[in-house]
Structure 1
Amino acid sequence: MPDSPNKLSQFRQELKRRKVVRVITVYAATAFVILELLSIIIEPLRLPEWTLQFAIVFLCIGFVIAVILSWIYDIHPEGGIVKTDSAHKVKAEDTPTTSSRWKIASYISFIVIVVLVVINIIPRTGKKESLEKSIAVLPFAWLSDDPEKRYQADGVMDAILLHLCKIEDLRVMSRTSVEQYRDTDKTIPEICEELGVAYILEGSFQKDGNQARLIVQLIQSGKEGHVWGNNYDRDWKEIFSVQSEVAQAVAEALKAVITPEEKKLIEKVPTTNLTAFDYYQRGREEYWRAILYMEYGATLDRAEYFLKKALEQDPAFALAYSGLALIQFSKYYVYIPSGPLYIADYYQSEKLDSVSILAEKALAIDSQIADAYYAKGRYEYEKGNFREAMISMQNALAIDPNHTAAMVVASDISAALFDYVTALELLNKAAGMERGSMLAMIDFYFYYTFIKIGFPEQSLLYLNEYLSHTGDSIQYYILRYQLESVQGNFESAFDYIKDAYAIDSSHRDVIMNMGNGLLNLERYEEAYPFYSIYVGELEASSEVRVYEMKSIGYELWMLGKKEEAMCYFQETIEHCTRHIQIKSDYGQSRAIFDKAGIYAFLGEKDSAYYYLEDLVKVRWHKYYISMMKSLDPMFESIRHEERFQELLRKMEGKYQSEHERVRKWMEEHDML
């Protein structure tokens, strides 16, 4: 026993003399590099799943061989590869000096190992966990012969998707993101790459009489076969428990935590009346068709019809009330990038009030419906009750943490409440869950938010993203025109709208902005024909576009058509007054600004200042500051008065404070 430490020391010395330790270090570093390269190229080159495992086994065998060979042989600088003599045959003075190249190789290898561990394994932990809990549910295949019943497969897929969305520990891609992969030829790795998810749930559904069959499988990107799968052959009346089982099994496979509250929501049975449920599925699919393909009108009418039929079967069906609330809101309000399009009967308060009434009915029956809170929030937002609207959106997100539409609207509300940091944070989160048509809308909200808070460079970046996601060159040129105009670059702005006009000279918004562009350049005679065409088209439709009435009035005034101009000014004031009364989004800011501008232009200074003082209280973003400072000619008569300048200074002070807060947030998120 006393000799053991000495023998161990001798063994360590022998390992050092035979350079075994250095061979191990160099070999380990080389193996690390090989495995890292393989992990990078396996998925792009679609190498077999076992490639990495084979490489590890091969390198382990090579390691043993390298250790044995390094014990037996050595490389001498002057003699090449020679067999290493036993320790008792070597005199101290005969011990060969270590090659400096070996030392350098050993040191470099050690550094490589440390670097790979630090910059590769450790940082990937958080990202890997985030990615591994991300999933997209693709549209289920319909296996029955009757194509008219396909809504049943879509309904089951939608229900499972909504169940997964309730789990906060998961990142679930929205339905607007996955619809593009219906009947796709793309591979699972390609879809995962495009959506930025680790898992795909795909399935098929068939219903024959009262018997239903659901086949689902969970697939991980880059893995052969499926991670989990199951066949469910059940009676149709058990469909709710099947949908719940699938969602929970998927969450378990992804190692996602389901809280007791989330489990309760997932297992809740929405109705015991299967006929009502069938009508609900049909109505919901018609609603989704309207949203996904912008087929409003008749499609929304069909959706409304089926949901009302569902309520005839089950008057306590909360989801049907919630669905009707969404339909009513979609019927009377459509948002397009050039501004809100108000249907003619929008001013009839009962039309919008029905949204709130239906949402409240749903919540009175079941207080845990995210879409009902979402619809209620949209109603409150349109009424100008921003704080109540935000509470509703927060309630929706508490129930469905993956509700991207609620995130986007909550972002807009945050901006209305002057909290642009929260607005950008919500948009950032929503963008991580969208890859479909909604992502283009998120790009637009980024674009517009950055304009309002004074970051035109970032606004342009998201405008370019908008173009890449939509391919809509005309809308890109319209928005680029607006971005240049708000910066006072009227010449370059007009060049962009001319590009849009060259593509489509009949596009209504292009025609209108051609008039605006020429008006900004004080080319009144040339602007008039464009405004005439635009006004004629509006009169032929039921649309009410308030935004441009003031500009048309100014154009007519500058052409000496003062009576016609006064008609437009008066009509603008009437619309603005009504919007202010009903507290619409337009009524909360732009209507106040437009009324102030008209009164200033007509010399009614007291009225102009009355509304400008209101504007300072409710809105102070970059657009209004720029227009008041120099860009809007209708304020020219009061622009240099001290009272006007004092109001402008107040706006700029509020703006600069929030602008700086946003700048710091952007620096923290590497967005500058």
Structure 2
Amino acid sequence: MTGKDQRSFKFWNELKRRNVPRVLAIYAGTAFIILEAADIIFPRWGFPDWTVDLVLYLLLVGAVITFVLSWIFDISPGGIVKTAPSKSPASVRKPIVSNIIIAVLIVVIGVLMYPKLFRNNDSPLGGSNRSSIAVLPLKIIGDDMELNFFASGLVESLTHMLSKVGNSNQSFSVIPPSEILEAITASEARKKFGVSLVISGSIQMDQNSSRLILNLIDAKTQNLIRSEKLDYSKEKNLIIQDEVISVMVSMLGLELESDTKALILLGGSTLNDANELYLTGRGILREGVETEKVIDDALDLFHSAIEQDSLFALAYAGMAQSYTMKYHFTLDAAWNDESLKYSRKAVELNDQDAYALMSLAASLVEKGAYEEALGYYEKSKEIDSTRANIFSELAYLYEMVGEMELAEQHNLKAIELDPDSHLTHYYLGGFYYARARFDEALLKFEKALEYAPGHLTIMHAIASCYYELEDFDDAVAIFEEILEQDSAQGRVLWNLGSTYYYQGDFEKAISSYQKGLRYTPQNYNLHGALGRAYLFSDKEALANESFQNAISIGHQDITCPDIKFATWFGLMGKKDSANFYLERLNPPGYPKDLDATTAYIIGELYLILDREIMAYRFIESALKRGYGWRDVRYSPLYRDLDHDEEFQEMLARAKKSKT
């Protein structure tokens, strides 16, 4: 052994004699616990990110002090004493097992401390694969409901801004805010959306100040990467979005370039009050619209924001979206006109806002201006070709103009862009359903339900597929499951009643129809369906009363077609009145000149009026084109025709032609 090795060995033995390794190991373990606690607790207490680093530096200084003190002093039963000089090598020899334990302990502590001592200050977006980020709803400190709406709108706005940043440099993608409507953990976000990073946080606000805390979390390890606290005073601004988005980008290890910053802030407002009103309105819409009053509340906020800042393009876009929702809620075309007006203003102020362009295009579609709408959709796609909903809405437009192949292609593209969205699968399922491709529709609706468990609208769509596929038992089971969660679903009650009707359970059909009428008392179709259930359960007086209700309501609605009145009068046995409406309808003599649905309905009317020859001609035409088979198989209207040779021959021809 060389002299140098002997000196090193002697120094190591002296360290052990003075218990320095043992003390440092205990110190390192304690320091690790303190550092882990600070890493978890400090962000929750609102301490800035640098405070954790400060604790680390203090612990490193403490390690040096501990080394010096443990060399000089020792702990004995009598207290802390100065370490005695070495007497002989033999007297200080310690068991080999003790040395091994100390060595293992030092290695373990070193491994645990390494990530803390040598933090990677590079961007969390490292790696060859493009990172994906989920921005979770903010935790509300306090019980202010309006703050909840504001926070929801803020998250939506920041998510859109962050998405634009990611698109500008192709470094990351962001889960759309429409996909994250409830509080979830980072682990749940990773499982549901496959994200690598999560941004969460909390917000607290009073009359004079506000505090926003943002946390960047590794979704895989659940480790906190960075945390920032932003405090604002009323005089400065409660929440400055451009500063917040700059902080979020910085947390990702990136810099917000001036061009990108100008793009994401285009169409906004620099006025605090206007911005706060706008964000609260966005939050109201994002939290879900169940009544028309909710839409009106959002409209009031957007209108007030525009009064504060007449050039606030985003507020005009909010007005447009609200009026579109109001139109779909009431089917009053006047609201679509309002949406069109505000959409045009929003685009005039900011023609780089993809959502404003889409809103304008959607309003134009409702007006039948498909070519102009297509231009705005294409422009929104040029601005942001990563938005799945642009392709979904384009698919609907192509469906409206009869371009079914393009419609299907755009729906598939939407799924490619956002495969984890329930909406993209739901829209494609709806496309298949409208094309009577019920097996394919069912698969897509079931896929959509995987991403949105318990979604009542999707469950309704699945039940409707089972209904069309004549799997009535499964349809009934799902309809009833929906009603257990929301008994006020008028359309579901109607469909459940129709399913019972085809099963021949007229009493249950009557009960479901009656419950449905509580929520839609002016639905003439539902009154007519109730009349049929009464009629085939031998309750003629009640049937006639229901048919008369349908007729009275239908007369008040200019959209009610003559074929409806003819059918109701025919089922009541009033053939003169039925023939009057049939003659006024003036159907063509050749059923092939009609679509399959209309041909079948007219054929059924002829059957009710005992005009079998005409009835069979029209029904056969519809059946050959695939419409009406469920009624022929299950409707009680046909139960007396099992032994009618002419009817059976007609069915055989239709089946042969269909196959």
Q: Find the counterpart in structure 2 of residue 24 from structure 1.
A: none
Report if the CA contact (8 A) 1:135-1:199 is conserved.
Answer: yes
After TM superposition, the structure 1 = structure 2 runs for residues 508-657 of structure 1, keeping only pairs within 5 Å, are 508-521=490-503, 527-539=509-521, 545=523, 548=526, 551-552=529-530, 561=543, 565=547, 568=550, 571-572=553-554, 575=557, 577=559, 602=578, 604=582, 607-609=586-588, 616=595, 633-634=604-605, 638=614, 640-641=616-617, 645=621
Distance 1:547 1:266, change over 3 A: farther
Separation in 2 of the partners of 1:511 and 1:157?
37
State the Cα RMSD in Å: 5.1
Closer, same or farther in 2 for the Cα pair 1:495/1:328, shift >3 Å? closer
> How far 1:446 sits from its partner (Å)?
3.5
Paired position in structure 2 for 1:379: 363
Q: In the alignment, is residue 333 of structure 1 matched against residue 328 of structure 2?
A: yes
Superposition deviation, residue 547 in structure 1: 5.7
Q: CA deviation at 1:325?
A: 1.9
Q: Give the alignment partner of residue 452 of structure 1, picking from 415, 434, 441.
A: 434
Listed one character per residue, the Cα deviations across residues 610-644 of structure 1 (whole Å, up to 9, x for unaligned) are: 9988975xxxxxxx67x967999457665643898
Q: Partner of 1:333: helix, strand, or coil?
A: helix
- TM-score using structure 2 length: 0.57
SS of residue in 2 equivalent to 1:272: coil
Are the counterparts in 2 of residues 595 and 608 from structure 1 also a CA contact under 8 Å?
no
Once residues 472 and 367 of structure 2 are traced to their aligned partners in structure 1, the CA distance between those partners, rounded to angstroms, is 35
Give the Å deviation of 1:173.
0.9
1:161 Cα offset (Å) = 0.9
- 1:318 pairs with 2:319: no
Partner of 2:66: none
Matched residue, 1:412? 396
Give matches, 1:66-105, under 5 Å. none
Contact 1:363 1:372 in 2 (8 A): yes
Tell me the distance in 2 between the aligned counterparts of 1:596 and 1:614: 20
Once the two structures are superposed, what CA deviation does each residue of 1:319-343 show, in whole Å capped at 9, x if it has no partner?
Answer: 1121122222323424xxxxxxxx3
The counterpart of 2:161, out of the listed 158, 163, 179, is 163
Q: Deviations over 1:456-481 (max 9, x none)?
A: 33323234345545554987775455
Give per-residue Cα distances to partners, 1:42-68, cap 9 Å, x unaligned.
xxxxxxxxxxxxxxxxxxxxxxxxxxx
Describe the shift of the 1:562–1:651 C-alpha distance in structure 2 as closer, same or farther (beyond 3 A): closer
Larger RCO (alpha carbons 8 Å, 6+ apart): 1
Query: Counterpart amino acid of 2:347?
Result: L
User: Equivalent residue for 1:60?
Assistant: none
Shift, 1:136, TM fit: 1.2
Sequence identity, in percent?
20
The change in CA–CA distance for 1:514 and 1:195 in structure 2 (over 3 A counts) is closer
The one of 438, 447, 464 equivalent to 1:482 is 464
1:375–1:146 Cα change, 3 Å: same
SS in 2 for 1:180: coil
Cα gap change, 1:374 to 1:592, in 2 (>3 Å): farther
User: Cα gap change, 1:144/1:396 in structure 2, threshold over 3 Å: closer, same or farther?
Assistant: farther
* Number of residue pairs aligned between Structure 1 and Structure 2: 478
What residue number does 1:178 align with?
180
Q: Distance in 2 between matches of 1:155 and 1:497?
A: 34
Any gaps of 5 or more consecutive residues in structure 2?
1-125, 572-577, 629-659
1:315 Cα deviation after fit: 1.9
The CA deviation at 1:355 is 1.6
Q: Counterparts of 1:519 and 1:451 in 2: how far apart (Å)?
A: 22
Identify if the C-alpha distance between structure 1 residues 494 and 311 changes in structure 2 by more than 3 Å, giving closer, same or farther. closer
3-state DSSP class of the match of 2:299? Answer: helix
CA-CA distance at 1:553 after TM superposition = 5.9
Cα deviation digits, residues 241-292 of structure 1 (max 9, x gap): 3245346557875x99x996x6642143622322222222222222222x2x
Aligned to 1:464: 446
Residues 210, 238 of structure 2: 8 Å contact kept: no
1:263-302 counterparts in 2 under 5 A?
264-268=262-266, 270-289=268-287, 291=288, 294-302=289-297
Mapped contact 2:604–2:619 kept (Cα < 8 A): no
Q: Following the alignment from structure 2 to structure 1, what is the Cα–Cα distance between the partners of residues 209 and 384?
A: 31
The Cα shift of 1:517 comes to 2.5
CA contact (8 A) 2:567 2:605 kept: yes
* Structure whose CA Rg is larger: 2
Q: Shift of the alpha carbon at 1:401? A: 4.3
Partner SS for 1:368: coil
Q: CA deviation at 1:530?
A: 3.9
| Aligned amino acid, residue 246 of structure 2 | E
2:349 maps to which residue?
A: 365
Deviation of residue 142 (structure 1)? Answer: 5.5
8 Å Cα contact 1:376-1:392 kept in structure 2: yes
Distance in 2, matches of 1:132 and 1:321, equals 34
Choose from 188, 194, 201 the match for 1:196.
Answer: 194
* Partner residue, 1:28: none
Aligned counterparts of 1:309 and 1:491: Cα–Cα separation in 2: 52
1:44-93 Cα offsets, whole Å, 9 max, x none, are xxxxxxxxxxxxxxxxxxxxxxxxxxxxxxxxxxxxxxxxxxxxxxxxxx
- Residues 415-461 of structure 1, C-alpha deviations (whole Å, 9 max, x = no match): 3334445444544555577799xx44544434332223344333232
- Structure 2 counterparts to residues 380-395 of structure 1, below 5 A: 380-395=364-379
CA-CA distance at 1:645 after TM superposition: 3.2
**What is the distance in 1 between the residues matched to 2:175 and 2:603?**
43
Return the letter of the residue paired with 2:395.
S
How far apart, CA to CA, are the structure 2 residues paired with 1:283 and 1:225?
Answer: 34
Number of the residue aligned with 2:243: 242
Contact 1:552 1:568 in 2 (8 A): no
Matched with 2:76 is none
Inter-partner Cα distance in structure 2 for 1:238 and 1:507: 40
Tell me the TM-score normalized by structure 1: 0.56
Q: Who is 2:106 aligned against?
A: none
Q: Decide whether aligned partners of structure 1 residues 461 and 246 sit closer, same or farther in structure 2, where only a CA change above 3 A counts.
A: same
Distance 1:533 1:397 in 2: 45
Q: Partner of 2:351: helix, strand, or coil?
A: coil
Residue 310 of structure 1 and its aligned partner are, at CA, apart by 1.4
Once the two structures are overlaid, the 10-residue window that deviates more, 455-464 or 486-495, is 486-495
The code of the aligned residue for 1:645 comes to S
Q: Is the 8 A contact 1:271 1:317 kept in 2?
A: yes
Task: Give me the whole-angstrom Cα distance separating, in 2, the residues matched to 1:614 and 1:325.
Answer: 41
d(CA) in 1 for partners of 2:488, 2:230: 54
Q: Is the 8 A contact 1:160 1:247 kept in 2?
A: no
Q: Quick check: 1:598–1:634 contact (8 Å CA) kept in 2?
A: no
- The 1:414/1:296 distance shift into structure 2, 3 A limit, reads same
3-state DSSP class of the match of 1:351? helix
Q: Distance in 2 between matches of 1:226 and 1:525?
A: 60
**For the residues of structure 1 that align with 2:356 and 2:387, how far apart are their CA atoms?**
12
Equivalent AA in structure 2 for residue 242 of structure 1: E
What secondary structure, in the 3-state scheme, does the structure 1 residue paired with 2:520 have?
helix
Greater Cα shift, 631-640 or 199-208? 631-640
Q: Report the 3-state secondary structure (helix = DSSP H, G, I; strand = E; otherwise coil) of the residue aligned with 1:276.
A: helix
Shift of 1:174: 1.8
1:592/1:389 Cα in 2 relative to 1: closer, same or farther (>3 Å)?
farther
For residues 510 and 295 of structure 1, do their structure 2 counterparts lie closer, same or farther at Cα, with a shift above 3 Å needed? Answer: closer
Structure 2 residue 336 is the aligned partner of structure 1 residue 352 = yes
Instruction: Assess, with a 3 A threshold, how the Cα gap between structure 1 residues 411 and 214 changes in structure 2: closer, same or farther.
Output: same
Task: Assess, with a 3 A threshold, how the Cα gap between structure 1 residues 405 and 508 changes in structure 2: closer, same or farther.
Answer: same
- Which amino acid is 1:641 matched to? R
